[in-house]
Each structure stands twice: as structure tokens, then as C-alpha cells.
Copies of this chain bind each other. A is one copy, B any other.
């Protein structure tokens, strides 16, 4: 089959014959099918999806992005859409429905059968941030009195060949979790052994209400790939696999990084985000920061007499405020990331504050010295004439840099902690917020120090 044929088949929607394409007629993994579909224009993707065998549809669906999932479901016949949505694994179903809001949510809920609808309703009751939103409710349980052979028999009869059968959960009569057994232990132990004798006594679990971030920490700490999730009474309600947590960690970091960049985080990847929603996400914070920065014009206006007397002061304004901003972003970045990874809590504020004041002092001394030397060298070689009082100007720059950088590291480290204290997300535009704060107050520090040092000479 040449490329032209492939293209023809794709455009005519005859997709399923392509799936056994290739010399060795090898099967194609659902994620690869999904990638191909995503690369097609939407209308063709919908047609191509329809041409898939129904079982394949169910397997490919979870790998599509939410936009395409919605369009495909809307375009499909009601019965077919209903079949797909009901056959999805519970975590994939949840993932799809979590992306929906309002009218859309109720529209798509109608496709579900009663059992799935009420299960989904129950889980949607938990907060967005909780692990309940990620769990798979399909899992294998066993009681501890049975033998390994009986347990195997039970598994064979009741479970299909899916990830859910990798770990078996031992529960009591009330469904309360006792322990977990990786299925390998059924193979590695003699069939006559009692389940109770092959338990290892280490059972780590998550609560439904635990935050997704806590789950990340727990998976990392215990090096697990799947963890059981229980309610307050320790009744097993679902399992959480690490690949979902990997997605969560990545989304958290993307959000954090985009917030650092001074913008709302995107809902879709950059390339998939429409132009105007991209502008919306960016304009909001840009306008807020712009309005904040307008205070610098006010502050500068406040010192306009000083500037007209000593234009030389204006020359260093960008240098001074950007140094404060840079040192502030550094501190904010360090603290926000350390808090996100739970290395630091707000209880450590005093440790952080002391540390950042001394960091600011040290960094300020370094930059202050460089600034001082810069002016002295330029003056000495007549590259620029800072006037007869150049030495006092250099001293002003020296002390201003120390003051502003200390103020930068201090506010950079404390603003995220204060935000966290008031239950706000410390990542939200902290870095640019800090930069703006430092810019405005930095001008006051600079001109005040100038007023003291240059009084009677330049001012």
C-alpha cells in the first residue's frame, strides 16, 4: 500500500483496514490509533473512528483528547455512544466527565446506564483535587481464609485479563481493607498455602479525600505502582495506578510553570489552544501586572523633581529594579517549588526568612560591588561622565542594590508563604507579582537612599 492509497483510505473514512497495515500484519496499539486520528482533520477523524470495530473504539477512546472525545460522542448514534461510555474503565470514564461542565455534563450523563450514572454521581461529589476523582472502581478482592489455589480459581472465574488483576486486595466481610497481594505471590507460593500466610503486613492505602498531591508523595515515598483507596471506615472503594498520578504531576508542574510565566494555565496544550483563548489566558494577568506596574509611573512622578535635577539617577532605574525583580523571582521559585514538593511548610517561615535575608545581603553585596566598579571604571576611562559627584552616585547605587535585593529575596520568599497561609495557591503568578511589588517599592528605596546620600550635592 503506498502513501496515496493510505491517504485515500483515510479521507474516505476507511480506517480499520489500515490497522493491520505493515509487513508483518502486526496489531497496532490503541494509543497509536489515537495518535493517527488526532493528526487527521476533525471531520475525517470522526468518520475514521466510526469505521473501527466497536471493541477497538472502546480501547482507543481513552487515548483521545477531550475535545475529540466530545465531538466523536456527539457525532455517533446514541446507542453506540452509550455503549462506548458505559464500557470505558471507571477511571477513564471519570476523566472524560471531569472535563465537562453544566449543560454538557448532563447531556453526556444521559448516555450512561443507571449503575454507571449513580457511581459517577457519587464520585463527582468528591472535590476536584481529591484522589476519588482518579480511582478505578474495578478491582479484585479476596478473603484471607481461602487458599492460593482457591484464590486463583476465583480470579479466573470473575476477572478478565486487565490491569485490575495485577494486585489482589484482601478484605474482611465488611469490605474493609486488610492487605494487598501482588498476583505474582500466587505463582511464587504453593497452591495449598492460606492467603493469610502470604501477607507481608505492609499495606499502604490512600483515603478518598486525600489530595492528588498527597498521592504523588505517597507513590514516590513507597515506590508503588498501584495503591488501594479507602473511605473513612477503611472500606476499599477503588484503586489508583501510578500512570494517572504521573499525568497529575505533569499537569501540576505545567500549571506551576505557566503561572510562573505570569499567566493563567492553559486547559489544552499550546498547539491545541485556540488563538483567542490563548489571548484570554495571557491578557488577564498581563493587564493586572500592567496596572500594578503603573504604580511605577506614579512613583517616578513622585520623584520627578529629583530626576530633573539629577538625570543620572534615571539612567540606573531599569538596572536597579530588574535586579530586585530577578532576586525576588529566584527566591519565589525556590520556595514555591519546595512547598509544592512538600519539602517545606509554612511552619518553616522563620527558617526561610532568616536564610533569605542573609542570602539577599550576600547577593546584594556582590551585585552592589559590581555596580560600583562599573561606574568607577566608566568614569575613569571617560566612557561616560557621571559628573563631579560620580563617587556619591556610585555609593548610592551600591547601597540601593543591597537594599533592593534584600527586599527582593525577602518578599519573594514570604509572598508565597503568605498566599499559602490564606489557602491561596502560591504558584498563582507569584513570581511576576513579586517582581511588580519589588519594582514599585524598589523605586522608593532607590530614591530615598539617593535623597540621603546626594542631599546638598546633586539633590
A439 touches B (CB below 8 Å): yes
Q: Please, how many angstroms separate the alpha-carbon atoms of A161 and B186 in the complex?
A: 10
A400 at the interface (CB under 8 A from B): no
A88 to chain B, nearest CB (A): 13
| Complex CA–CA separation, A330 to B165 (angstroms) | 45
Partner of A27, one of B31, B202, B291, B435: B202
Q: Which of A103-111, A116-124, A248-256 contacts B (4 or more CB under 8 A)?
A: A248-256
With beta carbons under 8 angstroms apart, the residue of B187, B249, B286 that contacts A363 is B286
Q: Is the CB of A338 within 8 A of B308?
A: no
Point out the residues of chain B lying under 8 angstroms from A250, CB to CB.
Answer: 220, 249, 253, 341
Q: Does A224 touch B at the CB level, under 8 Å?
A: yes
Closest to A305 in B: B311
- Residue of B at shortest CB range from A218? B31
Q: Does A381 contact B (CB under 8 A)?
A: no
Chain B residues, Cβ within 8 Å of A332? 261
Assess whether A317 is in contact with B318, with CB atoms less than 8 Å apart: yes
Residues of chain B within 8 A (CB-CB) of A286 are: 323, 326-327, 330, 363, 366-367
Contact call B300/A155, Cβ cutoff below 8 A: no
Q: Check A279 against B359 for contact (C-beta < 8 Å).
A: yes
B348 and A319 within 8 A (CB): no
**B249 and A246 form a contact (CB under 8 A):** yes
Partner of A241, one of B31, B225, B330, B338: B225
Q: Contacting chain B: which of A45-53, A126-134, A270-278?
A: A270-278
A249 to B222, CA, bound (A): 17
Contacting residue for A260 out of B185, B261, B362, B363, CB 8 A: B261
* Bound CA span A287–B362, Å: 12
Q: A425 to nearest B CB, angstroms?
A: 15
Q: B287 to A254, Cβ gap below 8 A?
A: no
Is there an interface contact between B344 and A315, defined as CB atoms closer than 8 Å? Answer: no
Q: Which B residue's beta carbon lies closest to that of A289? A: B326
- Residue numbers of A with Cβ under 8 A of B are 26-27, 29, 31, 35, 63, 152, 155-156, 159-161, 163, 165-166, 182-189, 201-202, 204, 216, 219-226, 241-243, 245-247, 249-250, 253-254, 256-258, 260-263, 266, 269-271, 275, 278-279, 282-283, 286-287, 289-291, 293-294, 296-298, 300-301, 304, 307-308, 311-312, 314-319, 321-323, 325-327, 329-330, 332-338, 341, 343-344, 348, 351, 355, 358-359, 362-363, 366-367, 370-371, 374, 384, 431-432, 435-436, 439, 443
**A220 with B243: in contact, given A188-B159, A291-B370 (CB under 8 Å)?**
yes
CB-CB under 8 A for A307 and B314, given A29-B202, A250-B341 = yes
Given contacts A221-B31, A242-B246, A304-B311, contact A260 B333 (CB under 8 A): yes
Complex partner residue of A222 from B31, B296, B298, CB under 8 angstroms: B31
Given contacts A224-B243, A261-B329, A333-B258, contact A271 B343 (CB under 8 A): yes
How far, in whole Å, are A235 and B317 apart by their CA atoms in the complex?
A: 63
Max chain B C-beta neighbours (<10 A), residue from A29, A257, A297, A301: A297
- Which B residues are in CB contact (< 8 Å) with A312? 304
Residues of B within 8 A of A319 (CB): 290, 293-294, 296-297
